[in-house]
Amino acid sequence: MHSRFSMYSTVIRRPISLLVLMFTISSLWPVLATAQKPKPKKKPAPPKIRLPESVRTRPSHLMDVAPASRERRTELELAAAQLDSLIEGKLTELGQSPNPYVEDDVFLRRIYLDVAGRIPTLAEAQAFLDSNDPDKRIELIDTLLGSPDYVSHTYNFWADTLRLRERPQPNIVAEPFLAYVKDAIRTNKPYDEWVYEMLTADGKVWENPATGYQLRDDGMPLPYIDNTVRIFLGTQIGCAQCHDHPFDQWSQYQFYELAALTAGTRTRIKRGDPGYEKTNPANAMISEARKHYDKGRVPGAFQRMIRANSYSVSEVKATLRLPHDYAYADAKPKSVVEPAVLWGEIPSKAKNASPRHQFAAWLTSPDNQQFQNMIVNRLWQRFMGVGFVEPIDDFRDEHPCVNEPAMEYLGKELVRSGFDLKDLIRIILYSRTYQSVASDYALTSGEPYYFPGPTIRRMTAEQVWDSMLTLAVRNPMPFQRPGAEELKPYLDVDFANLTFDQAKSQSERFAKTYFLSAYKRELNKHAYQGNILCRASELPAPQRADHFLRQFGQSDRETIDGAEKEATVPQILAMFNGPITHVMLERGSAIVDDVLAIDSTRDRIDAIFMSVLARRPVSKDRLLAAQELSRTPNDNVGYGNIIWALLNTREFLFVQ
């Protein structure tokens, strides 16, 4: 076992003593401290609860989520067994052995973090650990895959990959697309169908939200191809935009051949569209508005609403030419390039379709092995910590697959299921490989990893945030991000018939509701000390640079898979004394209510450990907890210190 894991294990089983000896924080928990003060003669007024009421009441229903089918469970268990056989066969070949099955408490915490994106609640942890059902692991996997938590967490996963921002450009309103991505996860839309929709959608984003994918790279047709092929095919051809790829087979000419398939994509309204005759109607309306507003200062909401209506995706007939400085002998500069795919052929059913539809049909075809490989590799890394191929989106000879039969098998199962991502995930999670003890492994070691079990990894920023909310509030989703239905009445205009008075009236309604600054202010009613208490998936994205999520590495959504997991000083300070750690010790928080509702000290310590670490304390934990309680004059301050100390352990911040 590597030395780093040995150190990690030591920290796990000694979670309290060092932190408590370093720093006593009685002053941080004044609310808890009042619980055991001598009773005055007059009954005092009940302490004020500062947490918003919206987060203190458990919701009865958040959303309808496509369930994990019970009918397919047996066949997926058999598929998981076949996967294990392929993984273990490779280990045997190399003289290695699979790790033993992980204990229930570690599995419990792992599966909640990996599927739900958060730690389990006290009640959830107790129910699972007390259950004697031999199928309780599979039952829990399927339950979580049918939950709103799965939708929220999986949205965060795709938001990082697809670079989801509410304003990729100032005048592009992308919320309908963000809600569309979330809805595709909620309904378990077949993966090939989902990707095809994003690559071929037409119209305004609130009419057809899938157009948001193409608007993300508005005005950048060549980076659009580079990003798309990298995201969905795991092939990095960006270097070939300017010259033949120095480290791979792709030539600059091949890059332009592929880009020619989407050269006809347009993202703005054009002549012939309603209201667009000689003059761009958006420019004309804003020019008209300057005559009506004092000193020609057109309000931001008016401009954003009008400009947003100038974005509409369509496809026209177009050709693509090589750049003027093209320097290779196979073609002349500025010559027209005929469209062609990188490998294979365009499916016969799309031969007569438009070039953009041909591109989408080729990319998502069940015959396109790389389309399968890429999503298998992404999901394998998501749950195992390391991909079959690393980096996950750079398939080439220099980055060999460590277990090609296993990756190909999962790809075939994906196609057989009709590109059902939830079933693919179930195969991985059902497997012995996933349910084994995690290994300490780092890519920087330079050694291939053959998956005796998953790897230990630090939580993502979103997992940390959502886990803190689980401890703090009963309702971690007091609102959900708006979609096309909510936004369309405030944004959509018909340029063919629009008058200034109509535009002014509608823009004023927009300014009070979904104009970004007003919308963010509205969310503050769910805030505590400036932090909006809602799951990361629903918060404005990306967050400001000083927000807890960004401090813990949330991507700025400018690059594909741009999240960071490196430790930094701001992270330590945020965990030690940040607003989100304070909220848990506020009267009315979930963990305070749960602990104070218990009478015995022993059971309170159990509840704290179960709530924070999803396990019961061992003997040494109990001894350290007793020592801490003995040196604080008020037991409730001691409980607060224990909670705070556990939050600052590696055991809390890492997925084992």
Q: Which domain holds residue 85?
A: 70-269+310-458
Location of structure tokens 């098998």? 409
> What pLDDT was estimated at residue 9?
33
Q: What is the pLDDT of residues 169-227, one digit of tens each?
A: 999 999 999 999 999 999 999 999 999 999 999 999 999 999 999 999 999 999 999 99
Q: What is the mean pLDDT of the chain?
A: 91
Question: What DSSP character marks residue 526?
Answer: G
> What pLDDT was estimated at residue 105?
98
From residue 585, give the alpha-carbon distance in Å to each of 24, 47, 153, 588, 589: 15, 13, 25, 8, 7
From residue 14, give the alpha-carbon distance in Å to each of 8, 20, 443, 533, 577: 10, 11, 28, 31, 21
- 436, β-bridge pairs: 101
Residue of 617, 632, 635, 590 lying closest to 23 (CA atoms): 632
From residue 553, give the alpha-carbon distance in Å to each of 4, 170, 556, 561, 566: 22, 24, 9, 11, 7
> What pLDDT was estimated at residue 40?
54
Report the range of poorest mean pLDDT among 29-33, 195-199, 239-243, 501-505.
Answer: 29-33
Question: Which segment, 17-31, 433-447, 569-583, is predicted with the most confidence on average?
Answer: 433-447
Residue of 399, 344, 393 lying closest to 366 (CA atoms): 344
209 is a domain residue: yes
User: Is 235 within 8 Å of 395 (Cβ atoms)?
Assistant: yes
> What pLDDT was estimated at residue 42?
63
422 is a domain residue: yes
Q: What is the pLDDT of residues 317-326, one digit of tens each?
A: 999 999 999 8
Measured in whole angstroms, the distance separating CA 316 from the mean position of its chain's CA atoms is 34
254 is a domain residue: yes
pLDDT band, residue 539 (cuts 50/70/90): very high
Tell me whether residue 239 is exposed, middle or buried, using C-beta atoms within 10 angstroms of its C-beta: 0 to 12, 13 to 18, 19 or more: middle
Report the range of poorest mean pLDDT among 34-43, 331-340, 368-377, 639-648.
Answer: 34-43
176 is a domain residue: yes
pLDDT at residue 90 greater than cutoff 60: yes
Tell me whether residue 268 is exposed, middle or buried, using C-beta atoms within 10 angstroms of its C-beta: 0 to 12, 13 to 18, 19 or more: middle
Question: What DSSP character marks residue 220?
Answer: -
470 is a domain residue: no
| Residue 450, SS3 per DSSP | coil
How much is the average pLDDT of 494-515?
97
Take residue 83 and report the two structure tokens written for it.
Answer: 């996967």
Degrees to nearest 5, angle at CA 586 with 580 and 592: 105
CA distance 521 to 240: 45
Q: What is the pLDDT of residues 578-632, one digit of tens each?
A: 778 888 888 899 999 999 999 999 999 999 999 999 999 999 999 999 999 999 8
pLDDT at residue 374 greater than cutoff 80: yes
538 is a domain residue: no
213 is a domain residue: yes
Residues in Cβ contact with 65 at an 8 Å cutoff, skipping those fewer than 6 apart: 146, 147, 148, 150, 151, 186
C-alpha dihedral, 156 to 160 to 164 to 169, nearest 10°:
150
Instruction: Report the greatest alpha carbon distance in the chain.
Output: 96
Supply the pTM of this predicted model.
0.92
pLDDT at residue 502 greater than cutoff 90: yes
For the chain, how many structural domains are there in total?
1
- 457, β-bridge pairs: 655
> What pLDDT was estimated at residue 247?
62
589 is a domain residue: no
> What pLDDT was estimated at residue 41?
57
CA distance 305 to 282: 10
Measured in whole angstroms, the distance separating CA 458 from the mean position of its chain's CA atoms is 15
> What pLDDT was estimated at residue 25?
42
> What pLDDT was estimated at residue 571?
86
